[in-house]
Amino acid sequence: MTKQVLDIIESRAERMTYAENIQYQIRQEILLLKQVICSQCPNNPVLSGFKVYCQTDEDGIIQELLRRIPKQQIDRTLIEIGCGNGLENNTHYLMLRGFRGFWVDGSETNISYLTRALDLANGVRGPLKGIRRFINLENVQATIVEACEFIGSRAPTLLSVDIDGNDLYVLQRTLEICDPEILCIEYNAKFPPPLALAIQYDCKHQWTGDDYQGVSLQMLCNSLPEYTLVTCNLSGANAFFVRNDLRMNFTEYPIEQLYQPLRANLRFLTAGHAPSLKWLRNALDGTSGYEQAAIE
């Protein structure tokens, strides 16, 4: 081999080593955080967190929440507002496990990618419907009615909301006509409890990358009397609530113990090779090699 080829190989090896070191450091940090949490809140669902298609550890947390809910109460339906392009969201993993879902996102780029990659016909492929819509108070209830009609339930197993802005207002309007068992809601982790803050409603709000976005964890808890906070994920991105009739299945901890601050570095955690929508496409078709996964 020429010196140029050897240099290329060495450069690639160095980049791979650097990436592997970053992943090792992230996983070590997660391990240490879980050790601390376990000593303080040994029944906290965040301890079961892991990543498949989520941002950090939401997939494992949701799986643990489902494990604690009686199976007969789980109807395998979901709604995700702010689904992205499907490569990284809170419900892709559940769709692989046989759920029926409704995805909505305000980005034309994201929905166009979903439509092409999954070959959606009028937004639908099997048990999944994906639509493009910039959600605000003017259209959220019509959207939720459409979602509930598609999934066949007004009490879906999971509702996920992540729109980087009017999350609280959209959530409140949604809960007027829909009774999810589990809520996964993005919160602004810059503001720890007891500070209760939410941005002023703006139907055209788009996040500009600064700290003016969303809602603090305390404000979420204050605004959801029919739900109980049960955990937050380690990166400080999402809070998880269960409907009050299900809270007996969980240990209740003070909000100060469940709150997680922003740890943006944990969002660089990887889960094997680069994500794709190919497994999901197979699952939606029910093709060979796919079997509906049980909720243990």
Q: What is the pLDDT of residues 28-68, one digit of tens each?
A: 999 999 999 999 999 999 999 999 999 999 999 999 999 99
- C-alpha distance from residue 69 to each of 64, 207, 229, 284 (Å): 9, 35, 15, 25
Residue 55: phi and psi, rounded to 5, are: -80, -45
**pLDDT tens string 161-199:** 999 899 999 999 999 999 999 999 999 999 999 999 999
User: Minimal CA–CA distance to 123: which of 282, 283, 284?
Assistant: 284
Mean pLDDT of the chain: 93
10: confidence class by pLDDT, cuts 50, 70, 90? low
Q: What is the pLDDT of residue 296?
A: 56
Long-range interactions of 19-28: CB distance < 8 A, separation 24+: 22/268, 23/269, 23/270, 26/265, 26/266, 26/268, 26/269, 27/269
18: confidence class by pLDDT, cuts 50, 70, 90? confident
What does pTM read for this prediction?
A: 0.92
User: Which residues on neighbouring strands pair with residue 129, listed in sequence order?
Assistant: 102, 124
Q: What is the pLDDT of residue 212?
A: 95
**Which two structure tokens, joined as six digits, stand for 118?**
């999954």
Distance CA 53, CA 3 (A): 40
pLDDT-above-90 percentage for the chain: 87
**Sign of the dihedral through C-alpha 112, 76, 272, 265:** positive
Three-state DSSP at 32 gives helix
Q: What is the pLDDT of residue 291?
A: 56
